[in-house]
Chain A
Amino acid sequence: MVIIGRGAEAILEMREFKDLYFPSRDLNIKVVIKKRVKKGYRLGEMDLHLRRSRTVLESRLIHEAKKYVRTPAIFEVDLDECYIVMEYVEGERIKEFLEKIDSERRKNICRKIGNMIGKLHKNGIIHGDLTTSNMIYRDNEIYFIDFGLGEFSKEIEKQGVDMHLLKEAFQSTHYEHFMEDFENVMKGYEEVVGEEKKREILNRIREIERRGRYVRRDSLYNKQ
């Protein structure tokens, strides 16, 4: 058992598939157990209710998203202990992958990412934490992982925040070709959602940025 991640609400553990299921079949697959841990500061019943409903929501999002994009296979969902056992997608994070391929391939990958997010949004799925660390490249395919902050919604605000987060991730981690990359993402996005929707999203991203929460803007007041 290896702990591969520890977030604010969950612990991620890596295990062998055969240690959990079908021991005689010698299937060489790694799995991840994402367990939402008990929080001592919360009332017991509130805590269990939250961990349970979030485990259900995340499993449903991963499962539903699979109709449109690649996501890990889910093997088990336990609502007493609040964990999900899912496939460990063994590949390379897009974060690193993007930095070592030529510009033509990068363009294709970015388009594909946009395309996939377009499909999710069109079908009412918000990922909630779109960064290039949450996308894995394996066998010519891109897998989306970690739907822990996701939700089912078709609201433009939520789609805008989703894309804004991705833009920020590109800006901070892939700053050298950020403009070009994000443009290609939006091109791929447009292929699925259409031009009008793309424009709406771009406007919404600008509006979110203007709220001043995320970027420094010169305060109106300081100009006095």
Chain B
Amino acid sequence: MISLGIESTAHTLGIGIVNEKEVLANESSVYSGEGIHPRKAADHHARVLKDVLNSALRKSGVSLENLDLISFSQGPGIGPCLRIGATAARTLSLRLEIPIIGVNHCVSHIEIGKFTTEARDPVTLYVSGGNTQIIAYTAKRYRVFGETLDIGIGNMQDTFGRALGLKFPCGKEMDNLISKGKKYLHIPYTIKGMDFSFSGMLTEALKYLGKEKKEDIAFSLMETAFSTVVEASERALAHTGKRELLLTGGMAASPRLREMCEIMCKERGDRFYVPPFDLCRDNGAMIAYQGMIEYKSGKRMRIEDTAVKQKWRTDEVDVTWLS
């Protein structure tokens, strides 16, 4: 079976093509500006869609006629962006007369992680711009054991980066700054059970601007933020009794975060996995893969069922593909 997936929840328009064995293509174009302007980001997606689609087809060597399924990210995400992907998916499905499946973006991150690593039943630390969640599968659902009570960790990093004058998204520049930081400045450490919150850290870090070196502020801010999510992940591992941690989402690119997860797992004797980075950040391949496993588990959708769900929660997804 060959499945094509369209990702358009936020700043990335991604198109991926997969079959049961491997990822055949995973192309994308990222909107860049000062943060994400919903309409401008949607315009960007609409503009680049055709090119990204063509390059995915070219890379995979698959023609439109050979596709068996169209998948798209139905939510959660930014409405105008989601609608671009959904519209393209409906058009392709009707035109090619092949089935359509709308999937949950967060769950897709986990499943592609399990597909491309040796993780089987992990606790997932999902860290990106908009989402920061600790998820594990229990009692037939992907349950959120911990999550941010306010903004996503990536959102915090980007907002801080913007105050420094860095361009959005600023992950790489921030990683660079962090590695040069030496002095730890006090930043409030907010964790409540398995939940965490980042807005207080951000406020405090912004107060240091102009008084301390920006490398030290960036280092202290991210060191604190990472510590809270790693601690919450450890609590989730202890709570669920699971022995694997899967790190995914755009922030999984951070070398320091990976290192912290690795140390934590090593100290517990648990295993740690990170998918290849192109499959950690928002991408079309994970959507294609998710649609495929849902379709094969018997799920079907009519065009009337494909309206986008901006606030679709991870724990609301009917998990039909796992026993």
Q: A46-B223, A46-B227, A224-B307 are in contact. Are A219 and B184 (CB under 8 A)?
A: no
Residues of chain A contacted by B307 (CB below 8 angstroms): 221, 224
Q: On chain A, which size bracket covers the interface?
A: 20 to 34
CA–CA, A45 and B147, complex, Å:
26
Residues of chain B contacted by A50 (CB below 8 angstroms): 189
Contact indicator A46/B141 (Cβ below 8 Å)? no
Contact indicator A221/B231 (Cβ below 8 Å)? no
Contact indicator B305/A41 (Cβ below 8 Å)? no
Contact indicator A219/B312 (Cβ below 8 Å)? yes
User: In terms of DSSP, what is the predominant structure of the interface of chain B?
Assistant: helix
Flag B249-290 by CB within 8 Å of A: 1 or 0 each: 000000000011101101100000000000000000000000
CB under 8 Å from chain B, chain A span 32-69: 39-43, 45-46, 50
Residues of chain B contacted by A46 (CB below 8 angstroms): 184, 189, 223-224, 227
Does B204 interact with chain A (Cβ within 8 Å)?
no
CA–CA, A43 and B184, complex, Å:
9
Report which of A40, A128, A221 forms a contact with B309, defined as CB distance below 8 A: A221
Residues of chain B contacted by A224 (CB below 8 angstroms): 304-305, 307
CB under 8 Å from chain A, chain B span 222-247: 223-224, 227, 230-231, 234-235, 237-239
Contact indicator B227/A212 (Cβ below 8 Å)? no
CA–CA, A219 and B308, complex, Å:
13
Does A7 interact with chain B (Cβ within 8 Å)?
yes
CA–CA, A37 and B158, complex, Å:
33
Report which of B147, B193, B227, B267 forms a contact with A149, defined as CB distance below 8 A: B193
CA–CA, A175 and B238, complex, Å:
24
Does A8 interact with chain B (Cβ within 8 Å)?
yes
Residues of chain B contacted by A221 (CB below 8 angstroms): 75, 307, 309, 311-312
CA–CA, A224 and B189, complex, Å:
42
Contact indicator B227/A41 (Cβ below 8 Å)? yes
CA–CA, A84 and B15, complex, Å:
55
CA–CA, A216 and B238, complex, Å:
24
CA–CA, A224 and B224, complex, Å:
42
Q: A39-B267, A46-B184, A224-B305 are in contact. Are A213 and B231 (CB under 8 A)?
A: no
Chain A interfacial positions (CB closer than 8 Å to B): 6-9, 39-43, 45-46, 50, 128, 149, 212-213, 216-217, 219, 221-222, 224
